[in-house]
Chain A
């Protein structure tokens, strides 16, 4: 559930007192019509709060924590686990690491680029898989009342509502902000992950683990691509026969 408009207004008057809505929108890049619509509906999206807090140099996670729904974020200070860190590394970056490690000395050239920023194309699903003990989905579903198939559908689409992301973290017993990183609502720095933590976790992976992980990711990617190709083929067949 998005945030109640009343609480949002209270928060906003604390963050930017005596500032017009127009100014807030200009500074934060939130569209005026979007904000107006959210206020009318009485539900303000989490992304709005994140954008505004960034504009006013407030930590978005801390800002979210001032709302009842996300109050847990304030007290949670668990660092990300190794598996979570690795899950937030893009597949291409994993593959690059495999190549760098296996290539003969000196052949890869200098200055390898750092990891691409979070989130990546399958970050949500990879994150949930990384913290899943096999029962996680059931626990989240029981705690939030969201049907398992709806939850899975969100993961497949690499989306997860912020509240569900936090509920997932809670059900898995990991840092509550991790899910917000995986869904791309906040950055890893904003969530309090130590700088370079993902790179360090990647460096700590053994060659075997890294290669196996990259292989899993590649296989999943292959399945997704093949499914997309099949869908595309089906559409093409309709064009061929009926247009």
Chain B
């Protein structure tokens, strides 16, 4: 079940990235392609099989996990910035790109790296499960490391959430409001991941459901915008042709 969700998300995200290639060639909003490509890579790395294969290639010290965290940071940064700019949420843009956003990114990255270095990370293990099992100290460090990894995406999502909620209630076309609603659901789900340590072990599958649903919501929300733009068709094509 979780496998299906993971691979579905991977395929959806990969397809979305591929669909951006024509615009990449045309140099139009290229950061969306990069964000989706990073996201696809991140999903790939979060699946057990590919993770073990790649990490083994990188020396088997779980560097792939650290890489995964930074890939997620990059993807969410570019994507959220575009979304906030698109929906005219200047405060959201400011919170992500401004001093507060950079401070959050720097601080969280530092915590992430420090935790990683202090851990005994030898032996590839998806989700660092085996690493945590090695010692009491490792277990604690993995906990902090995980929290730091979830903190930055949560910060960014909270930054764009008010803008999305405003867009849902705005007089925008129905499809765009639906898209904003999907993006809002994603932006709510990701901060919820901060509560993962409180989830009882029996309900561990909830972590996966929340994570991948959030990503699916983001990708679907973006795809809906592209559909809406296709529907709006000629008129908007003419305008953007003028601007180019």
Instruction: Name B16-54 residues within 8 Å CB distance of A.
Output: 23, 28-29, 32
Binding site for B on A (CB under 8 A): 227, 231, 234-243
Of residues 63 through 103 on chain B, the ones whose CB sits less than 8 Å from some CB of chain A are 82-83, 85-88
B225 contacts the other chain (CB 8 A): yes
Task: Decide if B114 is an interface residue (CB 8 Å cutoff).
Answer: no
- B156 contacts which chain A residues (CB < 8 A)? none
B240 within 8 Å of A by Cβ?
yes
A240 engages B171 (CB within 8 Å): no
Bound Cα distance from A227 to B170, whole angstroms: 12
A234 close to B232 (CB less than 8 A): no
* In the A-B complex, the 10 residue pairs with the closest CB atoms: A241-B86, A242-B86, A243-B229, A238-B86, A241-B85, A242-B225, A239-B236, A231-B171, A239-B229, A237-B88
Contact of A235 among B28, B232, B243 (CB under 8 A): B232
In the complex, 24 of the A-B residue pairs with CB atoms within 8 angstroms, ordered by the A residue number, are A227-B171, A231-B171, A231-B172, A234-B172, A235-B232, A235-B236, A236-B236, A236-B239, A237-B85, A237-B87, A238-B86, A239-B229, A239-B232, A239-B240, A240-B240, A240-B243, A241-B29, A241-B82, A241-B86, A242-B83, A242-B86, A242-B222, A243-B23, A243-B225
Contact B87 A238 (CB under 8 A): yes
A235 and B172 form a contact (CB under 8 A):
yes
Contact A243 B176 (CB under 8 A): no
A241 to B88, CA, bound (A): 10
The size class of the interface chain B forms with chain A is: 20 to 34
Is chain A's binding surface mostly helix, strand, loop or mixed? helix
In the complex, residue of chain A having the shortest beta-carbon distance to the beta carbon of B221: A242
**Beyond A231-B171, A237-B85, A239-B232: 6 further Cβ-contacts under 8 Å?**
A234-B88, A238-B87, A238-B225, A243-B23, A243-B28, A243-B226
Query: What 1/0 mask marks residues of chain B from 225 to 244 whose CB sits below 8 Å from any chain A CB?
Result: 11001001000100110010
A227 closest partner in B (C-beta): B171
B200 close to chain A: CB less than 8 A: no
Which chain B residues border A240 with CB–CB below 8 Å?
86, 240, 243
| Bound Cα distance from A241 to B90, whole angstroms | 13
Report the separation of the CA atoms of residues A227 and B23 in the bound assembly, to the nearest whole angstrom.
31
Chain B nearest Cβ from A235, distance in angstroms: 6
With both beta carbons as reference points, the residue of chain A lying nearest to B84 in the complex is identified as A241
A235 to B82, CA, bound (A): 14
Given contacts A242-B82, A243-B225, contact A235 B32 (CB under 8 A): no
Q: Give the CA-CA distance A198 to B78 in the complex, in Å.
A: 60
Nearest chain B CB to A89 CB, angstrom units: 28
Q: Assess whether A242 is in contact with B32, with CB atoms less than 8 Å apart.
A: yes
Task: Looking at the assembled complex, report how far the CB atom of B66 sits from the nearest CB atom of chain A, in whole angstroms.
Answer: 30
List the A side residues contacting B226 at CB < 8 Å. 243
Is residue B202 within 8 Å, beta carbon to beta carbon, of the partner chain? no
With most chain B CB atoms within 10 A of its CB, the pick from A239, A241, A242 is A242
The CA-CA distance from A240 to B88 in the complex, in Å, is: 11
Across the interface, name the chain A residue whose C-beta is closest to B236.
A239
Find chain A residues with CB under 8 A from B201 CB. none
CB distance from A98 to the nearest CB of B (A): 32
What is the bound-complex CA distance between A231 and B177, given in angstroms? 12
Across the interface, do A238 and B29 meet the contact criterion of CB distance under 8 Å? no
Q: How far, in whole Å, are A242 and B221 apart by their CA atoms in the complex?
A: 11
**When chains A and B are docked, how far (Å) is the Cα of A240 from the Cα of B243?**
10
Contacts of A243 in B (CB 8 A): 23, 28-29, 225-226, 229
The closest CB in chain B to the CB of A243 belongs to: B229
**Smallest Cβ-Cβ distance to A236: which chain B residue:** B239
Residues of the A chain whose Cβ atoms lie less than 8 Å from the Cβ of B29? 241-243
Neighbouring A residues of B28 by C-beta, 8 Å: 243
Contacts of A231 in B (CB 8 A): 170-172
Determine the distance from Cα of A243 to Cα of B239 in the docked complex, in whole angstroms: 13
Q: Which residues of A contact B82 (CB under 8 A)?
A: 241-242
CB distance from A15 to the nearest CB of B (A): 40
Q: Which residues of B sit under 8 angstroms from A242, Cβ to Cβ? A: 29, 32, 82-83, 86, 222, 225
CA distance A227 to B240 in the complex (A): 21
A239 contacts which chain B residues (CB < 8 A)?
229, 232, 236, 239-240
A237 touches B86 (CB 8 A): yes
The interface residues of chain A lying within 8 Å CB-to-CB of B222 are: 242
